[in-house]
Amino acid sequence: MASEFALIARYFTRPVRRARLGVGDDCALLAVAPGMELAVSADMLVAGIHFFPGTDPRRLGHKTLAVNLSDIAAMGAAPSGALLSIALPDADEAWVKVFSEGFFALADAHGVELVGGDTTRAAPGGALVLNVTIFGEVPAGQAIRRDTAQAGDDVWVSGTLGDAALGLAALKGEVMLAAPERAFCVARLEMPSPRVGLGLALRGVAHGMLDVSDGLAGDLAHIARASKMSARLDVDALPLSAALRGQPRELALRCALAGGDDYELCFTAPVSARARVEAAGRSAGVAVTRIGSVLAGADAAPPVGYTDAAGRPLDLKLSGYDHFGGP
Ligand code: ADP
Ligand code: MG
């Protein structure tokens, strides 16, 4: 394998425009415009935990950045820069090349500059570890937090839910899908589309927001708890792809509510903002679907109640579901 320095120079050093200083010195230097706040987040992917060893390196490069962009999107921030830290077991130079191509294709699409990172060998027998620290900017006070949902808000979600979980189940041989559905769901798992444009368009519209990475049920409960509210969710309103709609209802609901890796945005907005939410979805080119409402009352246990389209309460057994255990 080429030396660490050669790999960094060849595959991770790019000229920067926005940053004052990029890869090559002890630190990068970033300027933050007056009146802006820096949004910062880190997300780590570990082989064998978050992805299968042997995953296509181009897709892995994409996903490593995408999961971080999703966090920036979920604050309504504009992404600007990133750090990439890698522990490489035995990856060869060809692997690093293709990984970097996947990473930069998505970075370029969102105007993100790679300004630094760290590259090291994994311990003998150790897993491939990929970590991105991402930076974004948002006008001071305008970030869309998860603790600011208000009673009476609608609950919305972008895109479709559960595709990645179904893709994971297919890769593990737990469900059989026709080739087109399988390819679609596996692509949703391996190449998520971070909803950056939608997050930006929802500034000043949404009250509370987060990205759905661990299953909508748990993530909506995070918004409810953080905002000292509860929520009601109409499971018949959940946006499902054709692949999910082709599955038994029980499996589809489990994937949509308790699967992981959706990287969609779940947000709340006042009823008076419905037209503006729809317009934000159209401007970002992403479907937005109203799936429930925020209720006053912090003490509801559980914090999220489920109903069908007729408003009848449903007793869904979603607890104990482990998204690495498969649906
Ligand atoms: P130091 O020893 O000062 O920490 P390193 O040798 O770790 O420096 O890294 C040299 C330069 O390369 C630094 O600017 C660092 O930010 C950058 N760098 C290292 N690994 C990566 C990577 N995977 N992607 C982008 N930049 C990297
Ligand atoms: Mg270092």
Mutate to test the pocket of ligand 1, among 85, 118, 133, 134 (most ligand atoms within 8 A of CB): 118
| Ligand 1 centroid, distance to 24 Cα (angstroms) | 6
Residue closest via CA to ligand 1's atom 19 equals: 118
Please determine, for residue 2, whether its predicted confidence score (pLDDT) is greater than 90: no
**Which atom of ligand 1 has the smallest separation from the CA of 85?**
23
Q: Taking all residues of the chain, what is their mean pLDDT, rounded to a whole number?
A: 94
| Ligand 1 centroid, distance to 23 Cα (angstroms) | 6
Rank 152-161, 298-307, 309-318 by mean pLDDT and report only the highest: 152-161
| Ligand 2 centroid, distance to 46 Cα (angstroms) | 20
Helix (H) or strand (E) holding 137: strand 129-139
Query: Residue range 171-197: average pLDDT?
Result: 98
Q: Kindly indicate the confidence band of residue 316, based on its pLDDT and cuts at 50, 70 and 90.
A: confident
Pick left, alpha or beta for residue 159 (phi over 0 → left; psi -120 to 50 → alpha; otherwise beta). Answer: left
CB < 8 Å & 24+ apart, contacts of 220-224: 220/155, 220/266, 220/292, 220/304, 221/302, 221/303, 221/304, 222/146, 223/146, 223/149, 223/266, 223/268, 224/149, 224/294, 224/300, 224/303, 224/304
Residues lining ligand 1, CB < 6 A?
8, 12, 23-26, 84, 86, 114, 116-119
Please determine, for residue 325, whether its predicted confidence score (pLDDT) is greater than 50: no
pLDDT value for 298: 76
pLDDT value for 28: 97
Lowest mean pLDDT among 1-5, 155-159, 261-265, 284-288: 1-5
Mutate to test the pocket of ligand 1, among 8, 99, 131 (most ligand atoms within 8 A of CB): 8
pLDDT per residue as tens digits for the range 37-86: 999 999 999 999 999 999 999 999 999 999 999 999 999 999 999 999 99
Question: In whole angstroms, what is the distance from residue 147 CA to residue 205 CA?
Answer: 15
Percent of the chain surpassing pLDDT 90: 90
Is the pTM of the predicted complex or chain greater than 0.85? yes
Q: Kindly indicate the confidence band of residue 165, based on its pLDDT and cuts at 50, 70 and 90.
A: very high
| Ligand 1 centroid, distance to 125 Cα (angstroms) | 23
Per the structure block, which two tokens stand in for 300? 């509801």
Residue closest via CA to ligand 1's atom 27 equals: 117
pLDDT value for 1: 60
pLDDT per residue as tens digits for the range 96-150: 999 999 999 999 999 999 999 999 999 999 999 999 999 999 999 999 999 999 9
